[in-house]
Structure 1
Amino acid sequence: MTWQATNNGQYTVKSGYHYQRSLISELEGEASRKHSEKDVWKRLWKMKVAPAVKFFVWRACSDALPISARDVWSQGCIKVQKMSHHNNMFFNVWTLLVQQLDQAELEEVAVTLKGIWTRRNEFLHGKGFKHPTSITQIARNEVSSFHEENQSQLPEQLQRSQREVKWQKPEAGYYKLTGMRH
C-alpha cells in the first residue's frame, strides 16, 4: 500500500496534515483564502524568534489557547493599538497582523503574545502579576537578544558547513547509514 500524497509513497505526519488541509480547502472552495493562509503560515515559520514563540503562535492560531490582554496591547507598537480586533478567531487576527505589520513588528507581537500567555499562567499559579509595560519591554529585549545570538552564530555555522565531508558511495557489499546532525 502506498500513500499518494508524497512522492516516495510513504506516509508522514506532515503529508497527512497537508492532505487534510487540502481536503478542507476543497470543501470551502476559497482559493484566495488558501493562498492567504499559506502566506500567513510562511510568515510565521520564517520569523526570527525562538521556536517556542512560533509554536505558541501556531497553537493560538489553531484555537488551542485563550488570549485576552488588552492592557498589554495598549503598551505595544502604535499600529497594533489602532487595529480593530473585533474578530473572535485568533487566526483571523493574526492574518490581519501579518498583512499590516513589517517583519520586526510581527516578531515583537509574537514574542509579546507568548509573554501575555506566560504572565497569565504565572498569575494563575500565584507567581504575581507583571505590569503590561514589563511584558512589552521583555518582548523587545527577547527579540533583540535572539537576533544578536543568531548573528554571532552565523560565521561559526558557515565554517562548520565548509568543513563537512561530502558523501561517498560505500564499497561493494556495504551499506552506509546517514543521519541529520543538530
Structure 2
Amino acid sequence: MKDDKLGQPSRQSITSNLWKKIWGIKAPQATKSFLWRAASESLATNLNLHKRKVVESPLCPICSMHPESVAHALWTCSVAQDVWSMGSRRMQKLCMQDGSFKEIFMPVLIQLYPLELIEIAVTAKAVWHRRNSWLFEHDFHPAIQVSKQVLAELNSIGTWLENSEKRIKVQVPHITQWSAPPPEFFKANWDADR
C-alpha cells in the first residue's frame, strides 16, 4: 500500500509549475501547444531526428555549426538571435544560457510579465516557422520580416484578448437583489411553467 504521506520530488512540482505557466499564457492554443512541444523537446530538430536515425547529420541546417537541439533552433543559433534581438528590450536582455529549452525557458517564465510571455511564445513559434520555411521551401525570411510578423500576430492577439474580455463581460448575467416593495404595494412570485 502506498503511503500518501511521502513527499514528492521537487523536480516534479517545478515541471508541473512550468506546464501550468505555459498553458496559462494568454495566447492562442496552437502557440501554447508549440511551447509545450518545445519544452518537451519533441520538435523535429535535426538532433532529435538524428537520434531516431531519420537524418544523417545532427547539425543545424541553417548555421551548420552546432547540433540542432530545440534550444539551438529556437534560442542560441545566431540566426535565431537575429530575430530575438528585434524584440522588446527585456527580451533582448535575457541571458543566453546552455541547456535544454525547458532549462532556458523556466527562468524566463518567472522573470517576465504576462504580455512579455506572449511575445516570447509568438517569437519562438515565428523562429521555428522561419527555420521550416528555409528547410522545406528554400525561402529564408529576413529577421526584420519575421519581427514584423511577430508584431502583427501580437496585435492580432491583443484584439483577440480585448474581444474575449468583452464577450466575457457581456456573458456575465446581471445579479438582481430582492428589495422590499413600497409600503402600499405587494410583490407576488409565481412559476410561469406550471
Q: What amino acid does structure 2 have at the position aligned with 1:36?
A: I
State the alpha-carbon separation in 2 of the partners of residues 152 and 79 from structure 1.
Answer: 27
Between 135-144 and 102-111, report the one with greater CA deviation.
135-144
Q: CA 1:79 to 1:155, structure 2 compared with 1: closer, same or farther past 3 Å?
A: closer
1:167 corresponds to? none
1:135 corresponds to? 146
Gaps of 5+ in 2: 44-69, 174-194
Question: Aligned pair count?
Answer: 136
1:78 corresponds to? 89
Gaps of 5+ in 1: 5-24, 163-182
2:126 corresponds to? 115
SS in 2 for 1:70: helix
- Please, what TM-score do these two structures have when normalized by structure 2? 0.61
2:64 corresponds to? none
Q: What amino acid does structure 1 have at the position aligned with 2:91?
A: V
1:63 corresponds to? 41
Identity rate, percent = 29
Is the helix fraction higher in 1 or 2? 1
User: C-alpha deviations, 1:16-73, integer Å up to 9, x for none?
Assistant: xxxxxxxxx94xx3x2x44433332222111111111100010000011232412211
SS in 1 for 2:126: helix
State the alpha-carbon separation in 1 of the partners of residues 90 and 123 from structure 2.
Answer: 14
2:114 corresponds to? 103
Per the TM alignment, residue 137 of structure 1 is displaced from its structure 2 partner at its CA by 2.4
1:94 corresponds to? 105
Are the aligned partners of 1:122 and 1:128 in contact in 2 as well (CA < 8 Å)? yes
Per the TM alignment, residue 154 of structure 1 is displaced from its structure 2 partner at its CA by 4.0
Q: CA 1:120 to 1:150, structure 2 compared with 1: closer, same or farther past 3 Å?
A: same
Bigger radius of gyration among the two: 2
Per the TM alignment, residue 141 of structure 1 is displaced from its structure 2 partner at its CA by 2.0
2:185 corresponds to? none
Are the aligned partners of 1:49 and 1:143 in contact in 2 as well (CA < 8 Å)? no
Q: In the alignment, is residue 52 of structure 1 matched against residue 26 of structure 2?
A: no
State the alpha-carbon separation in 1 of the partners of residues 90 and 169 from structure 2.
Answer: 37
Per the TM alignment, residue 113 of structure 1 is displaced from its structure 2 partner at its CA by 0.4
Per the TM alignment, residue 153 of structure 1 is displaced from its structure 2 partner at its CA by 4.0
CA RMSD of aligned residues (A): 2.6
State the alpha-carbon separation in 2 of the partners of residues 47 and 133 from structure 1.
Answer: 25
Q: Of 120, 124, 128, which aligns to 2:135?
A: 124
State the alpha-carbon separation in 2 of the partners of residues 76 and 127 from structure 1.
Answer: 25
Per the TM alignment, residue 127 of structure 1 is displaced from its structure 2 partner at its CA by 4.9
State the alpha-carbon separation in 2 of the partners of residues 85 and 116 from structure 1.
Answer: 16
- Please, what TM-score do these two structures have when normalized by structure 1? 0.64
